[in-house]
Structure 1
Amino acid sequence: MHCHNDNSKLTGRLSIFIQLVSICKSTDEWKEILYLLFVCIYVICIRMKAVDSNFTQTGASAALINDNPKTVRIFGSTSLQCDKNEDAVSDASSFIVNRSDDRETTSNLEDLAKNIKWTDAVPQIIASVIACLTVIPAGINMAYSAILLPQLQEPSSPIPITKHEASWIASLVTISLPLGSLAVGPLMDRFGRKALLIATCIPFFACWLLIGTAKGIYTIYIARVLAGASAGLTTVALVYTSEVTHPKMRPMLLGLNSVFVSFGILLTCFLSLFFTWRTIAFIFAGISGASIFCLLLLPESPYWVITFRENQLDLARRSIRWIYKDARVSEYHLSTIIESKQGQGYQPVNKDQVQPKSGFSIYLEPRVYKPLLMLLFLFLFQQLSGAYVIIFYAVNLFLKIGGNFGEGLDEYGALLLLGAIRFIMSIVASGCSRKFGRRPLMIISGLGMTISTLTAGLYMYYMELIDQKHIKDTGVLPGKSDDLFLLICLLAYVCMGALGILVIPWTLIGEVLPTEVKGKLGGFVISVAYVMMFAVVKVFPFTMDLFGVQGIFYLFATTSFLGVAYAYIFLPETFGKSFSEIERFFTR
């Protein structure tokens, strides 16, 4: 019985009253019993009014069983059999009181399900960490060429390479990555999130073995293409994490994706201090192999099972019991997933309820195309703001701004400092996203990037005026100045970028896209993002020659501020929201 308004409440109570009268009027004392019923119902209605405000439709429904006027059942509790005797009044009273108690229990269950404790979230944290093991190689891919190319270019290298061949080794990863991004959607939808997580590690394992045993340049080419395509498949880690985590924990745990990518970069730099490129390749192959065994421990995504495997409800129930150890909470979340797929209220679930949607028409629904367009524009502003390109050309940019940062700190020391800041800030961003949400971090991040790059540009302009005045007054060129302030501005720019713009657009893929299309459209969005990244990285040197470093800073400041304006207007807050609530935002 749905208790959404006072009329429905009154109707339900009168229905119970009529059933009880029909039971009692056949007895000799029916008049006395009827009087007692009036008294009981009056008292109980007052009590029910107090709990109705907390009552939600999660199992406290009362219904007649098989149209039997003597039997009433409460979902989730035992049925009441009213015999034709003088105990009918006490049974009826206890029934309605128990019904009220069930409502209170239901309200507590809903509160328990919506507010998760850290101790209860441990299985979700473990699952997210294991899933993110697959993105470590994505960070390794970025940094590995930095240690591979110098060693191959040495005179004693077993595989000598030219400058042209070195550029192909570095760029093949970026060019081939969209191959995996486009394929990941259909693959994860057909075979499941867990299966594809495991499958992602296999080509990574193969590529590192190829590099470790390579005897020619073409073997390295093949391995790099394989590594790039495999990195495109790692989108499944974002999708999986979003589907196995509680809405309160999801923002933080999705941030682990950036943390593990940054860890892959740092791990590569650390190992390069002790080992050669071949030994490092074998170490990475071992890490990929170990990841496979860890991934076998994970449950399948219950969202995927409900959406794409309608005949395997038991599998969905086992998966969600792995995630939520409390049986009542897991059943509540299972029914919530069913509700998000069908728009129905809480009710007992069965196999016939799950009907996945298909066809091209789903892409024309606002809940699909609106978040898709929003993500594409967010990635456009992400790339144009220079959040990634500055990392690719960090050493060259440090040299452009002078490279004189004080005693003992050259451009390579500044690069190491930049990498450490990015790693630390990715951890900070992951924690902050759980407390502050997406929108504040995106806006603060963009404003910080705007201020830092604008300050750097104005500082360079101010220093140019001082130098010109010095030349005009003395007729000689000024000495080399300390460029530490510009380095601080650049590091602040990277720091603020890692707080939001570098991280959040990627994690939003797992949140704002509906489950039915999350795999396909997630891969498409990531492919477009990497095409944008490739274009920006490719034209950056020419843009810097055209506008100069000062002009580049002004350009980054402008695009960062435009990104802030876009996020403020169009980006919804997803923190603590269920998938169905996020979908409702885009259907308004």
Structure 2
Amino acid sequence: MFLALNQQWTLLVVVAVQTTSISIGMGQGFSAVLLPQLENSSFNVDSETSSWIASLGVISTPIGALASGLLAEVIGRKWTIESTGIPFLLGWILMAVAQSQLWLYAGRFITGFAIGMAAACYVYLAEISRPDERGLMAALGPVCVSLGVLMVYSMGYFMDWHLSSVVCAAMAAFSMFIIYFLPESPPYLASKGKYHKAQDVLTFLRGSADEAEKEMTQVLQSVNKTKKLTWQEYMGQVKDPAVWKPFIILIVFFLCQEGSGMYVIVYYATDLFQNVGPVLDSSVESIIVGVVRLVVSIIGAACIQRFGRRTLAMFASIGMGLSMAGASGYTYAYGDVAQDDRPYNYFPFVCLVFHVIMSMMGMLQLPWLMMGELFPLKVRGLMSGIVSSLAYLFIFAIVKIYPNLMAWFQLWGMLALFSGVSVFTLVFVYFFLPETQGFSLIEIENNFRKGSKAEAVEPDPVYILRV
């Protein structure tokens, strides 16, 4: 009974943290409903202004992610997540009372900063979860992001964007309230010399003193490598294979993710469906995609718990590549034909929905999940902040140049580009992405050091790293 009770408390901790992901989804999806409403307002929004309103929600995100990495090492994982509510609240309030484009720019910029700060969630969840449940716990993040996207899509259909901003602000306030009561992660506590408190939190989370003691031994193995480091020594850790290898892998993995077009669909859903040829009202199609994202993200979370990271990444890449190729080919063949005269005119919309389905089966979640898995404790907070900062910079780039891609390559060419990146992702995953499913964080760290001068470890024939 005690074990079951504590497992329930662990799940409640995870759900509480993931409410921040709902705010992330609201921030990411807001431009898709805001921009169509602004077209008929006094804000005089043109295509250039629209691209800035959409992309300003991302341009500040790298700064927030970098700040989260630094704060996670200084004030802790929990308090970094807690503090994300402050810029979320400020940004949503500015947009709720916006009187000009400048107010919208400021609101989008500040909420984008908050989205970046929320990257600390993945580090926190990786550090409080068991190895066999770490994937599921982290995969709940994209589920909650999808819920946030669906909520803001739906609000945009039924209510004015000012009121939608108020609801989003209320969500951020709720997150701040419940996260206040959560414990700090045991590895962070141990790294600060609070061993007894770390042991108590582990016992609470695991529901077993014996299991907590065993895991505490592994935590201390990582902690022992972090003591008495000067700033120069800390920065010198980049030479460690357990640091530079995952850094390169994650950067390429994120480039593949952004280049597949999944965030273009999130930020420009209504506009993109209008361009490929709407079957229904474009806003209704956006809501349908939001529902699909939510449902499939739940399925994807279950799959991440059951299947390996590499298997899911390759499966998702194949599906995403085929779906974008199908939409590109159809648009190339019938792009100049009137909508009512096209055969199977619902086909490109179905392809884009299938792309969303396949992305939620692995490619959207995995880079973020693995960011909290691959780095050693001594640099996990900072390096995760740096990587997530660069990842959000990539998202900003693809969101900002979306109108340019449409102009340079036309719609069919842009979709073909997304398909080609998915094919490249398949190759990259097969040759370079390591498997982390079921491995403890210390085992992952040690496997990156195989063949180096680091401490020898027992070879693991299942964990393969082709770097």
Q: Do they fold alike, i.e. is TM over 0.5?
A: yes
Return the offset for 1:227: 1.1
1:369 aligns with 2:244: yes
Contact 2:72 2:80 in 1 (8 A): yes
Which residue number in structure 1 is paired with residue 413 of structure 2? Answer: 551
Which residue number in structure 1 is paired with residue 464 of structure 2? Answer: none
Return the offset for 1:184: 0.9
- Structure 2 matches for 1:172-187, cutoff 5 A? 172-187=56-71
In structure 2, relative to structure 1, the CA distance for the partners of 1:218 and 1:334 (3 Å cut) is same
1:206 aligns with 2:114: no
Which residue number in structure 2 is paired with residue 134 of structure 1? Answer: 20
1:228 to 112, 121, 143: 112
Q: Give the aligned length.
A: 443
Contact 1:271 1:280 in 2 (8 A): yes
In structure 2, relative to structure 1, the CA distance for the partners of 1:206 and 1:397 (3 Å cut) is closer
Distance in 1, Cα, partners of 2:98 & 2:385: 31
1:573 aligns with 2:444: no
Which residue number in structure 1 is paired with residue 199 of structure 2? Answer: 317
**Quick one: which amino acid aligns to residue 121 of structure 1?**
Q
Which residue number in structure 2 is paired with residue 339 of structure 1? Answer: 221
1:237 aligns with 2:121: yes
In structure 2, relative to structure 1, the CA distance for the partners of 1:260 and 1:510 (3 Å cut) is same
- Structure 2 matches for 1:419-430, cutoff 5 A? 419-430=290-301
Work out which structure has the larger RCO, using CA pairs closer than 8 Å and 6 or more positions apart in sequence: 2
Which residue number in structure 2 is paired with residue 100 of structure 1? Answer: none
Return the offset for 1:161: 4.6
**TM-score normalised by the chain length of structure 2:** 0.87
Distance in 2, Cα, partners of 1:168 & 1:486: 27
Distance in 2, Cα, partners of 1:397 & 1:281: 23
1:504 to 351, 363, 366: 366
1:515 aligns with 2:374: no
Deviations 1:463-483 (A, max 9, x none): 69xx9xxxxxxxxx9944331
Contact 1:306 1:316 in 2 (8 A): yes
Which residue number in structure 2 is paired with residue 121 of structure 1? Answer: 7
SS in 2 for 1:297: coil
In structure 2, relative to structure 1, the CA distance for the partners of 1:211 and 1:534 (3 Å cut) is closer
1:188 aligns with 2:72: yes
Give aligned-pair identity as a percent.
32
1:446 aligns with 2:317: yes
Which residue number in structure 1 is paired with residue 253 of structure 2? Answer: 378
In structure 2, relative to structure 1, the CA distance for the partners of 1:232 and 1:327 (3 Å cut) is same
Q: Cα RMSD (Å) of the superposition?
A: 2.7
Deviations 1:146-168 (A, max 9, x none): 4444545545x6xx454365554
Deviations 1:363-397 (A, max 9, x none): 11000000000000001111222222233344444
Which residue number in structure 1 is paired with residue 184 of structure 2? Answer: 300
Identify the range of structure 1 (574-583 vs 136-145) with the bigger mean alpha-carbon deviation: 136-145
Contact 2:65 2:116 in 1 (8 A): yes
Contact 1:379 1:529 in 2 (8 A): yes
**Quick one: which amino acid aligns to residue 286 of structure 1?**
A
**TM-score normalised by the chain length of structure 1:** 0.70
Identify the range of structure 1 (536-545 vs 231-240) with the bigger mean alpha-carbon deviation: 536-545
Distance in 2, Cα, partners of 1:417 & 1:426: 14
In structure 2, relative to structure 1, the CA distance for the partners of 1:281 and 1:491 (3 Å cut) is closer
Deviations 1:394-434 (A, max 9, x none): 4444344333x3xxx24333322222212211111111101
Which residue number in structure 2 is paired with residue 44 of structure 1? Answer: none
Return the offset for 1:533: 2.0
Deviations 1:19-64 (A, max 9, x none): xxxxxxxxxxxxxxxxxxxxxxxxxxxxxxxxxxxxxxxxxxxxxx
In structure 2, relative to structure 1, the CA distance for the partners of 1:535 and 1:209 (3 Å cut) is closer
**Quick one: which amino acid aligns to residue 566 of structure 1?**
F
Which residue number in structure 1 is paired with residue 456 of structure 2? Answer: none
**Quick one: which amino acid aligns to residue 78 of structure 2?**
K
Return the offset for 1:448: 1.1
Distance in 1, Cα, partners of 2:14 & 2:181: 12
In structure 2, relative to structure 1, the CA distance for the partners of 1:411 and 1:204 (3 Å cut) is closer
Distance in 2, Cα, partners of 1:325 & 1:522: 29
